[in-house]
Amino acid sequence: MKPKRIVFLEVENEDRDEVLSVFPDAVIESEVLSEDEIIRKHNDAEILCTFIYSPVTKKVIHALPNLKLIATRSVGYNHIDLKAAREKGIVIANVPDYGSHVIAEHVFALLLSSIRRVVEGEERTSRMKFEFQGLRGIALKGKTLGIIGAGRIGLNVARIASLGFLMKVLAYDVYQDPDHALEYHFQYATLDEIYEKCDIISLHCPLLPSTKHLINGEAIRKMKDGVVIINTARGGIIDTKALIKGLKSRKILKAALDVVEHEQNIEENKELVEMENVIITPHIAFFADDSMHRMYSEAMSDIKLFMETGAVKHAVVGE
Ligand code: NAD
């Protein structure tokens, strides 16, 4: 195997040894680097193994003349300029499934924390106040859940909701597979049907030019009064201003979010963060024991395959 200059970005300390056990000469960065820092420190990189906060922009791609592979240890790849990379013949790989159940489980952690008032209850007891009054929750059994994007994560959410919580589940996807509907216990619906009929809506489509601000003022107007919105996909799928407006008017009862717009500058979300009917986790849905292990092992086996054959198993072919 011909050695290449491999640069790993955004590696947590706990994961360094796993990387070095496979690529002992890899250069490892734990911090998120800016475009200019990537260019200044790693302009001789041949393989970049990134995560979602590294801006692999046109500027970066053009400034790294030896770059041949960008392997992102994530499902989403909207942090990579695919067009610029393709124009330069750079191969892009992602990790399409490092454990979709892990994200689906977090959907219910968020949802139940929100509608069963777990966060408020905990705050109350931590102030030595042990009273239930004022913390009435909402039950899931019998409610209708709408899933937008019935892919790996959405399907897991559908199954947990229908079989675990006895909810009715509707799902919208641009591609439909009747076998999925049977196996994961849901019915396909149009977007408008989801907006009109669902008590809770959970987003699981990718962020693409076509899905940016999919949940905007117009979509929110079509939703049921008192709808609960969960977003564990990407912040940009929701128009934050429209979300805040919907929450203020109580059209949206609660929002439970793992992703927001401008995650790198949370101050820009101050108004949303401070709303009492919103709970937000800092993009941790993916972050669990077995998912982290799979994320590294899948990305590294694709890098090895690329070094041996020039091809990858999980080539990104999206928009
Ligand atoms: P997936 O590719 O398996 O599923 C996405 C589904 O969305 C596909 O079925 C696709 O057909 C559908 N889709 C595409 N465009 C659509 C549109 N306009 N409207 C409705 N559906 C559309 O991906 P996945 O593994 O289920 O992940 C979904 C998203 O979750 C990822 O794109 C990523 O952004 C996000 N994600 C977040 C975390 C986190 O930690 N919060 C972790 C992993 C993934």
The string of pLDDT tens digits covering residues 167-209 is 999 999 999 999 999 999 999 999 999 999 999 999 999 999 9
Q: Which residue has the tokens 């300390």?
A: 13
For a mutational test of ligand 1's pocket, the pick from 101, 173, 184, 191, i.e. the residue with the most ligand atoms closer than 8 A to its C-beta, is: 173
84 burial (CB, 10 Å; 0-12 / 13-18 / 19+) is middle
Chain mean position to CA 263: 12
Cα 22 from Cα 301, distance rounded (Å): 9
Q: Is 174 in the pocket of ligand 1 (CB under 6 A)?
A: yes
Does the CB atom of residue 240 touch ligand 1 within 6 A?
A: no
Nearest residue CA, atom 37 of ligand 1? Answer: 233
Percent of the chain with pLDDT over 90: 93
Place of tokens 């030896």: 66
Report yes or no: 204 and 153 within 8 Å, Cβ to Cβ: yes
Instruction: Tell me, using a 6 A CB cutoff, whether residue 316 lines ligand 1.
Output: no
CA of 87 to the centre of ligand 1 (A): 25
pLDDT tens per residue, range 52-110 = 989 999 999 999 999 999 999 998 898 999 999 999 999 999 999 999 999 999 999 99
Q: How confident is the model at residue 298 (pLDDT cuts 50, 70, 90)?
A: very high
Q: Which of 73, 234, 261, 298 is catalytic?
A: 234
Per the annotation, the verdict on 10 as an active-site residue is no
Cα 118 to ligand 1 centre (Å): 27
Going from the Cα of 151 to the center of ligand 1, the distance in angstroms, rounded, reads 6
